[in-house]
Amino acid sequence: MHLSIERVKLDFPLLRFTVDDFVEGMYRTVATSGTQYELVFHDRQANQSWHQYRTVTLMRPFAPLTVVTRDPHSTRQMVILSDPSAVCQQINIILPLSGRIDTFRGFMDKLGSIILRHDRRLFLTVVYFGHEGLQEVRNIITSASKEAKFRHIKLLTLNETFSRGKALQVGATHWSKGDVLLFMCDVDIVFSTRFLERCRLNASPGRSVYYPVVFSLYNPSVVYPLQGKAVPQELDQLVISRDTGFWRDFGYGMTCQYRSDFLSVQGFDEDIIGWGGEDVLLYRKYVKSRLSVIRSTDPGIFHLWHPKECSTSLSADQYRACITSRALNEASHAHLGLIAFKDDLGKHPLGAEALTGGGSNLEEQQLKAEM
């Protein structure tokens, strides 16, 4: 504002506006030229009343493209000459786990059948809480390791209350082979080899960390029947559309960062117990640091829907966040509306077909309605 007023005074000396004269302003981005500002001031020089105004229009033009850097990148595995123990471009996937044995079995199946066939520059660190189900987890790891002929798996155990931040902290600090790229993951996440390449490209030691925006899938038992469709197999549900899920732009749990950068910001707050909160605090540490935070939607990483139980032992903020997340994960606004008004839809002569749209896609119905 002050800069705008000074520029007006410089170009138009007779217009003696001050900040006190400012009424309101608008700005718009014109794709072909730049940003245009319209500032409205009281015109005291009109010597009339306070109903006299003057609009000043300013333009900040786009500058021509300038090449800043042309750095080469390679995601092939290599050894850093200055530190032979630091294996570059290998990704250490850190997976916190407590119970959820069937979900973990599915995670290992997809890791072996989809990822390891094309990318073996990985290391998996599983941090398990408690004794219940521990032997089953060991058996799953042993079986998956033999089947995929992949031995780079480490199981760490903690006999205490589950804390995602504590698990990731332990997994990161346990690594003793120099610097490594960390992918902090969850058991209900599905990712592709393309995502792993973006993880390698966007995270750089001492320079940047990568925080992908994950596409979170809705409850398939709700959204597909509402469209008159059968629920497909899990991998066939990995479709990005407004009916199948949403971009989880409020989530910061999935992240790729180098261990050295993680330790330089002192990692997670281990005092946070249970669900949520630790990821946001770590993200804020990076925002305040000298590192660049790369935040972008990533079409290669999905959050699978699963029932969510919110424990009443959580803090008030954690419990509220858990309930909000649970509601957002169920279905889109339009689909939840169909469920809420199903009694009204049932009054239609077509009956249940009015609820499912007769098998047509809900997006197509909305588009037709708008047209």
Provide mean pLDDT across the span 312-333: 84
Going by C-alpha positions, the residue among 368, 367, 353, 336 that lies closest to residue 223 is 336
pLDDT at 4 over 90: no
Q: What percent of the chain has pLDDT over 90?
A: 50
Which burial class, exposed, middle or buried, applies to 256 when counting CB atoms under 10 A from its CB (0-12, 13-18, 19+)?
A: buried
Domain boundaries, the chain: 2-61, 78-326
pLDDT of residue 80: 44
pLDDT digits (tens, 9 = 90+) for 207-266: 999 999 999 999 999 999 888 899 999 999 999 999 999 999 988 999 999 999 999 999
Give the neighbor-by-neighbor strand order of the sheet with 22-30.
22-30, 34-42, 53-61
Provide mean pLDDT across the span 127-137: 96
Q: Please give the Cα distance from 227 to 186 (Å, whole number).
A: 29
Q: What percent of the chain has pLDDT over 70?
A: 83
- The pLDDT confidence band at residue 276, using thresholds 50, 70 and 90, is low
Q: Please give the Cα distance from 265 to 259 (Å, whole number).
A: 10
pLDDT digits (tens, 9 = 90+) for 79-111: 444 444 444 589 999 999 999 999 999 999 999
- The pLDDT confidence band at residue 342, using thresholds 50, 70 and 90, is confident
- The pLDDT confidence band at residue 366, using thresholds 50, 70 and 90, is very low
- The pLDDT confidence band at residue 338, using thresholds 50, 70 and 90, is confident
Lowest-confidence range among 22-31, 122-131, 207-216, 349-358? 349-358
pLDDT of residue 227: 84
Tell me, rounded to whole angstroms, the distance of Cα 338 from its chain centroid.
Answer: 28
Beta bridge partners of 248: 214
pLDDT of residue 295: 96
**Average pLDDT over the chain, rounded to an integer:** 84
pLDDT digits (tens, 9 = 90+) for 21-34: 888 888 999 888 89
Provide mean pLDDT across the span 1-30: 77
Q: Who has greater pLDDT, 69 or 121? A: 121
Q: What is the CATH number of domain 78-326?
A: 3.90.550.10
Q: Please give the Cα distance from 304 to 164 (Å, whole number).
A: 18
pLDDT digits (tens, 9 = 90+) for 142-188: 999 999 999 999 999 999 989 899 999 999 999 998 899 999 999 99
